[in-house]
Amino acid sequence: MSDKFLTRRRLLTGAASLVGAGALGAWYRLGSPPSLGEILGSAEHLNRGLQQAMIGREALAREYSPADVSPYFKPNGTQDAGGLPPEYMEDAENGFPEWRLEVGGLVARPTRFTLAEVRALPARSQITRHDCVEGWSVIGGWRGPQLSTILNRVGLLPEARYIVFYCADEFPFYFSGLSSYYESIDLLDAFHPQTILAHEMNGAPLTIAHGAPLRLRVERQLGYKMAKFVHRIEAVARFDDIHGGNGSYWADNGYAWYAGI
Amino acid sequence: MSEDAARKDIEKAQIVPAERPRRVWRYRHALPVRLTHWITAGAILILLMSGLQIFNAHPALYWGDVTDFDNPVFTIDPMTGTNRLLGAEWGNGLTPYDTALPSWMTLPAYRSLPDGRLWHFFFAWVLVGSLALYLAWGLVSRHLQRDIVPRGRDFRNLPASAWQHMRLKFHDAAGRYSSVQKISYAAVLFVVLPLIILTGLTMSPAMNAAWPFLVDLFGGRQSARTIHFICAIALALFAIVHVVMALLSGPINALVGIVTGWRRERIETEDQGERGDER
User: Same domain for B91 and B131?
Assistant: no
User: Same domain for B81 and B116?
Assistant: no
User: Same domain for B88 and B167?
Assistant: no
* A to B CB pairs, distance under 8 Å: 116
What pLDDT is attached to residue A215?
98
| Integer Cα distance of A215 and A196 in angstroms | 8
**Cα angle value A149/A152/A154 (rounded, 5°):** 110
User: Same domain for B15 and B82?
Assistant: no
What is the CB neighbour count within 10 angstroms for residue B100? 21
Share of chain A above pLDDT 70, in %: 85
Specify whether the CB–CB gap between A222 and A259 falls below 8 A.
Answer: yes
Does the beta carbon of B122 lie under 8 angstroms from any beta carbon of chain A? yes
Q: Which domain does B156 fall in, by range? A: 3-65+102-272
User: Same domain for B159 and B213?
Assistant: yes
Q: Which of B54, B112, B210 sits opposite A51 (nearest CB)?
A: B210
Collect all residues with Cβ–Cβ distance below 8 Å to B105 and sequence separation of at least 6. B49, B52
CA–CA min distance A8, chain B (Å): 22
pLDDT confidence bin for A58, thresholds 50/70/90: confident
Number of structural domains (chain B) is 2
**Which stretches of A137-217 are DSSP H helices?**
147-154, 187-190
| Integer Cα distance of B240 and B181 in angstroms | 14
User: Same domain for B50 and B127?
Assistant: yes
pLDDT confidence bin for B201, thresholds 50/70/90: very high
**Which stretches of chain A are DSSP H helices?**
8-30, 36-55, 86-93, 115-120, 147-154, 187-190, 249-252
Phi and psi at residue B76, to the nearest 5°: -115, 95
**Cα angle value B251/B256/B259 (rounded, 5°):** 120
- For A61-252, CATH number? 3.90.420.10
Does the beta carbon of B28 lie under 8 angstroms from any beta carbon of chain A? no
Q: Is residue B279 part of a domain?
A: no
The pTM for the full model equals: 0.86
Q: Is residue B10 part of a domain?
A: yes
- Whether A120 has a pLDDT exceeding 70, the answer reads yes
Phi and psi at residue B273, to the nearest 5°: 15, -100
Q: Which of B114, B210, B222 sits opposite A255 (nearest CB)?
A: B114
What pLDDT is attached to residue B5?
57
Domain residue limits, chain A: 8-50, 61-252
Cis amide linkage into residue A71, ω under 30° from 0: no
Q: Is residue B214 part of a domain?
A: yes
Q: Is residue B278 part of a domain?
A: no
Q: Which of A23-27, A237-241, B34-38, B80-84 has the lowest mean pLDDT?
A: A23-27
For the segment B133-142, what is each residue's pLDDT rounded down to a tens digit? 999 999 999 9
pLDDT, averaged across chain A:
89
ipTM comes to: 0.85
Specify whether the CB–CB gap between B267 and B13 falls below 8 A.
Answer: yes
Does the beta carbon of B218 lie under 8 angstroms from any beta carbon of chain A? no
Share of chain B above pLDDT 70, in %: 86
Does the beta carbon of B88 lie under 8 angstroms from any beta carbon of chain A? no
Contact A55 B206 (CB under 8 A): yes
User: Same domain for B241 and B211?
Assistant: yes
Q: Is residue B277 part of a domain?
A: no
Specify whether the CB–CB gap between A100 and A231 falls below 8 A.
Answer: yes
User: Same domain for B129 and B155?
Assistant: yes
Q: Facing residues of B266 across strands?
A: B23
- Over residues B175-188, mean pLDDT: 92
Q: Is residue B45 part of a domain?
A: yes
Residue A177 parent element (H or E): strand A177-186
Specify whether the CB–CB gap between A219 and A62 falls below 8 A.
Answer: no
